[in-house]
Copies of this chain bind each other. A is one copy, B any other.
Amino acid sequence: MGKERDGAGQVRPTTSLSPSAEFPPLSAQDIETLRRLGEQWRVEKPARALPVDPELRPSRPGAARARGPDEAFRPDQPGELTATPAAERPDTSRGRFALRVRRVLLGPPLSSMSMLRERMRKLIALPVLSSDLLSSVAYGPEALLTILVLAGSAALGLSLPIAAALVVLMLAVGASYRQTVRAYPHGAGSYLVASDSIGPRAGLTAAVGLILDYVLTVSVSVAAGIAAITSALPALNPLSVPLSLAVIAALLAGNLRGIRVAGNIFAAPTYLFLVAIGGMTLFGLGQAVARGFTVIPPPPVPATEAISVLLIARAFASGATSMTGIEAVSNAIPALRPVEWRNARTLLTWMISILILLFVGLMLLTHLNGLVPRANETLLSQLAHRTFPHGPWYPIIQAATALVLLLAANTAYNDLPRLLYYMARDAYVPRRFLHMGDRLALTNGLVALSVAAAVILTAFRGRTQALIPLFAVGVFLAFTLSQVGMVNHWRRHRGSGWRRRAAINALGATLSAIVLVTAAITKFASGAWVVVVAVPTLVLLCLGIRRHYDRVRQAVSLHPTPTQLTSAERSEREMAQEFLPQRVHHLLVVPVARFDQAALRALAYVVSLGQPALAVHVSPEDQEADRLRDEWTAWGDHVRLETVVSPHREILEPLAQYIAQLRERQPDITLTVVIPEVVVNRPWQRFLHSQIERRLRRALRRLPGVVVTSMPIHLSEVHPQATR
């Protein structure tokens, strides 16, 4: 169940997904209103028996049941059928072809009942959850050095102090997250934590920061993974953008198919990466020890900027991207084995430790080898080349890096749709993000992520270093808000030792905020402004969406909010009019253009309903109106005809206004306008019809209390079932 409601209709969010989230249950108050309305329900005459069995039972027993596998609906219990795959088959050949392609690519549909709630043990959870974090060392150190080297090779000596500062940051944020995980054992994502402990707008801001982070994670990780490949195989360099897009498409297909349930495939590449990078670091340090720790001087690079505090701050903020992905654990707590929070904390400790070891080792090795970032080869590739000039080690390291980066992108495919799902439940994003596709994946979120990441990757032509400046701001915004939220949390709950805990989170929040501000300011011109503009824009958009959904909810909710008096009054009046059949008074209106089969069918239809009916004809000329009236008389004048002469030959507006005025005279009636409409077979044929029906329908939609009925007139009445 997506939400749990208490007696007062208040909603407490849960972190598990449900296929029924699109259909939230009613509150107790709603059900009470229903019961009250149901008691007042009166029917003028008893409804006749249904002319057809709604359970679709065979009329002659045994006869039709023989169809077996083609049967679209299976009886389930009284009043309930279950749709079989035959009921989902589209009835156009194009639709069926698309479905077949889909089945081949994504596999057969999965039933709602097969929702897996598998728990991961720690040795599986470590690689699954850490690929995003650990893979960050593939671009973080390079991002740091790329900034420093702007001040010439001499500035590269600063890399070690900056790395030390980053280690402090990692420790602080890690400790902070360990506490968050303990405090929110059902899911400690920044959106949930900040919403709960600061307020909905802070949560929304954190969520928007995370959305940008996830999209950029995909773009950056895929670009960096492809860079690892093109570093090894320079011939592929010109193909890097198409290759990246192909990877995104493969990730989309894989996630639509739902391979994420098979978490084991994550273990191998992540452990391979750990072993490969760890091994290289140890071996490289061994080489350095062997040559007496002499630092190979870097090649002279001309300085294009002076060394300044700003430059150092930029380098620091760039290097901080090495710790993106740390939040993966907090989102995944419910997927761990019990005791969940304890396992999550252990995992966090492991991951931070490994991260720091890898990061420090790589920074040191780079410094000792005097390496400098280059455009066509990643730093990691240079390091691998330098450390293992011969043998199979270089390709293994590059392959492991590429794989783990692609897995890191996959983390975003896991987390973003889930975040959008939570946000959709709170009505901040379109409700379609609640929908689970036929493979139980959050289809719309997956598609949205892929499209956004592909657009960004293409716009930046797959250059990792160009994307980095956009990256840090979103992540550290979410980090900061989450940790500030934790400080609030402790202050509110004041458990034992809350001051110490609050201090740890406050340190994490402060350091994250420093990185956030540094990144936003120092990288503003080189791309961060996009994020600085996007965050408030998206927050406003989400608030607008929420406002719209709130209005819709109010318009259709069973008990109007008592604070809105006018709305309550209105609703009382409406309830009297429109919620009880005995209060609905009908007038059926048939616009007649010509006296043909279409008009006759519509007239027979309205008259057979036994309600007052009126035919309206809009005519360009008196003579034409008289002619139609003569035809009407010949027919027998069975329905009252009103002609409206429109001397300027406008049809639509006078008709719509006439109907509006009828309703204005008698606001109590429900007007049903019955419009016969020719159904064309091909789209181009639509141009051959005036489409006045469609335009009329659109014009009438604006009028309250006017119901529009379309009577399709088919050119060839071939039964569509027959062509299946």
B654–A34 contact, CB under 8 A?
no
| Contact partners of A613 in chain B: CB under 8 A | 47
At the interface, yes or no: A89 with Cβ under 8 Å from chain B?
A: yes
Contact yes or no, A635 B34, CB < 8 A: yes
Rounded to whole angstroms, the CA-CA distance of A702 and B199 in the bound complex is 49
A642 CB-CB contact with B under 8 Å:
yes
Q: With an 8 A cutoff between CB atoms, is A289 at the interface?
A: no
* A8 CA / B376 CA spacing, docked (Å): 85
Any B CB within 8 A of the CB of A614: yes
The verdict on A39 contacting chain B, using a C-beta distance below 8 Å, is: yes
| Segment from A53-61, A404-412, A509-517 that makes contact with B | A53-61
A116 at interface, CB cutoff 8 A:
no
Q: Scoring A residues 555 to 573 as 1 if CB is less than 8 Å from chain B, else 0, what string do you get?
A: 1111000000000001000
- Complex Cα spacing A1 to B626, Å: 13
Q: Chain B: which residue is nearest A570 at the CB level?
A: B717
B623 and A20 within 8 A (CB): yes
Q: State the Cβ distance, A393 to closest chain B Cβ, in Å.
A: 48
A48 CA to B79 CA, complexed, in Å = 36
Which residues of A, 182-237, contact B by the 8 Å Cβ criterion?
A: none
Which of B611, B644, B665 is the one whose CB lies under 8 Å from A59?
Answer: B665
- Contact A660–B612 (Cβ < 8 Å): no
Are A714 and B704 in touch, CB under 8 angstroms?
A: yes
Instruction: Answer whether residue A104 sits at the interface, using C-beta atoms and an 8 A cutoff.
Output: no
Number of interface residues of A (CB under 8 A): 170
- Tell me, in angstroms, the Cα distance from A638 to B648 when the chains sit together: 49
Q: Report the bound CA distance from A692 to B190 in whole Å.
A: 33
What is the bound-complex CA distance between A76 and B621, given in angstroms? 12
B645 x A80 contact (CB < 8 A):
yes
Write the A241-262 contact mask toward B (1 if CB under 8 angstroms, else 0).
0000000000000000000000
The interface stretch among A160-168, A414-422, A486-494, A599-607 is A599-607
Residues of B contacting A580 in the complex (Cβ-Cβ under 8 angstroms): 604
Shortest A439–chain B CB gap in Å is: 9
A460 sits at the interface (CB 8 A): no
**What's the least CB distance linking A209 to chain B, in Å?**
23
| Contact partners of A111 in chain B: CB under 8 A | 647-648
Interface of A is mostly: mixed
Q: Which of A49, A437, A620 has the most CB of B within 10 A?
A: A620
Query: Out of B41, B85, B647, B720, which one reaches A638, CB within 8 Å?
Result: B41
Instruction: Please give, as numbers and ranges, the residues of chain B lying within 8 Å of A82 by CB-CB distance.
Output: 644-647
Which of A146-154, A270-278, A279-287, A581-589 is found at the contact surface with chain B?
A581-589
A578 touches B604 (CB 8 A): yes
Q: Does A670 contact B (CB under 8 A)?
A: yes
In the complex formed, the residue of B with least CB distance to A641 is: B79
* Interchain CB contact under 8 A, B89 and A653: yes
Do B87 and A20 have beta carbons less than 8 Å apart?
no
Closest to A578 in B: B601
B702 touches A720 (CB 8 A): yes
Cβ contact of A605, chosen from B20, B112, B640, B670, cutoff 8 A: B670
* B597 touching A579, Cβ below 8 Å: yes
- Residues from chain B with a CB closer than 8 A to the CB of A436 are 620, 649
Interface residue A596 (Cβ < 8 Å from any Cβ of B): yes
Partner of A640, one of B54, B604, B670, B706: B54
Inter-chain contacts of A113 with B (CB < 8 A):
621-622, 647
**Contact stretch, chosen from A130-138, A327-335, A427-435, A449-457:** A427-435
Query: Which residues of the partner chain B approach A672 to less than 8 Å between Cβ atoms?
Result: 709
* A19, B649: Cβ atoms closer than 8 Å: yes
A82 to B616, CA, bound (A): 12
Q: Nearest-CB distance from A90 to chain B (Å)?
A: 6
List of B residues within 8 angstroms of A619 by Cβ: 20, 23
A377 CB–B CB distance under 8 Å: no
Q: Do B83 and A644 have beta carbons less than 8 Å apart?
A: yes
Closest residue of B by beta carbon distance from A435: B649
Nearest CB of chain B from residue A222's CB, rounded to whole Å: 27
- A608 at interface (Cβ–Cβ under 8 A)? yes
- In the complex, what distance in Å separates the CA atom of A604 from the CA atom of B574? 12
Q: How far is the CB of A55 from chain B (nearest CB, A)?
A: 7
Interchain CB contact under 8 A, B49 and A612: yes
Whether the Cβ atoms of A50 and B614 lie closer than 8 Å is yes
Do A643 and B80 touch across chains, with their CB atoms under 8 A apart?
Answer: yes
Q: How far is the CA of A555 from the CA of B598 in the complex (A)?
A: 9
Cβ-based interface call for A650 (8 A) = yes
Please give, as numbers and ranges, the residues of chain B lying within 8 Å of A584 by CB-CB distance. Answer: 604-605, 608
Which of A310-318, A364-372, A543-551 lies on the face that meets chain B? A543-551
| Given A430-B688, A612-B49, A712-B717 contact (CB < 8 Å) | no
Are B712 and A707 interface neighbours, CB within 8 A? yes
**Cβ of A426 < 8 Å from any Cβ of B?**
no
A72 contacts partner chain B, Cβ-Cβ < 8 Å: yes
Given the interface contacts A556-B597, A720-B702, does A38 sit within 8 Å of B636 by beta carbon?
yes
Residues of chain B within 8 A (CB-CB) of A4 are none
> A12 at interface (Cβ–Cβ under 8 A)?
no
Q: Which of B611, B635, B708 contacts A710 (CB 8 A)?
A: B708
Give A696 Cβ to nearest chain B Cβ, in Å.
12
Whether A607 contacts B645 in the complex (CB less than 8 A), given A431-B690, A635-B37, A678-B555, comes out as no
Q: State whether A607 touches B581 (Cβ < 8 A).
A: yes
Cα distance, A41 to B25, chains bound together (Å): 48
Contact (Cβ within 8 A) B611 A664: no
Q: List 11 A-B contacts (CB under 8 A).
A: A37-B600, A50-B587, A51-B612, A52-B666, A82-B645, A89-B653, A112-B621, A556-B597, A697-B710, A701-B712, A704-B719
Taking A52-B587, A580-B604, A707-B709 as given, write out 11 further A-B residue pairs in contact, using a Cβ cutoff of 8 Å, ordered by the A residue number: A20-B620, A25-B631, A48-B612, A56-B665, A83-B644, A83-B658, A91-B702, A555-B597, A586-B608, A605-B670, A704-B720
A-B pairs with the 3 shortest C-beta distances? A38-B636, A584-B608, A581-B608
